[in-house]
Amino acid sequence: DVKVTQSSRYLVKRTGEKVFLECVQDMDHENMFWYRQDPGLGLRLIYFSYDVKMKEKGDIPEGYSVSREKKERFSLILESASTNQTSMYLCASTRQQETQYFGPGTRLLVL
């Protein structure tokens, strides 16, 4: 069974803080993704990575960066958190040309 885990289910941060969201998958998947989910907007792709140390911008990369130093781990970084980054963040992974599997999500509140 594919398992995608995210480091926190709920997170509360202050404006201006640096925030790290971690995602780990245990199925040796090449591709990993970060989405944010907002009511009425569905899921929007922030960044993705198809190999270690490789990253590509998604549809809404502004205010975010990512890191993939190991194949199983993909980190999303908010360099200076802002209130408009309050959202649900979902990580996903996939092998080549297969289905994306999602983690349980991290609900981030920026005060």
Partner 1 sequence: AQSVTQPDIHITVSEGASLELRCNYSYGATPYLFWYVQSPGQGLQLLLKYFSGDTLVQGIKGFEAEFKRSQSSFNLRKPSVHWSDAAEYFCAVGAWLTGGGNKLTFGTGTQLKVEL
Residues at the site binding partner 1, with contacts judged by CB under 8 A:
4, 30-31, 33, 35, 40-45, 48, 50-51, 54, 56, 58, 90, 92, 94-105
Residue 91 near residue 6 (C-beta atoms within 8 A): yes
Question: How near is the Cβ of 30 to partner 1 at its closest, in Å?
Answer: 6
Nearer to partner 1, 79 or 98 (CB): 98
Q: Which of 29, 70, 26, 21 is nearest to 47 (CA)?
A: 21
Cβ proximity to partner 1, 5 vs 80, nearer residue: 5
Q: Considering the complex, what minimum distance in angstroms separates the CB of residue 68 from partner 1?
A: 12
- Smallest distance, partner 1 to C-beta of residue 103, A: 5
Sheet (strand 73-78) strand order: 4-6, 19-25, 73-78, 65-70
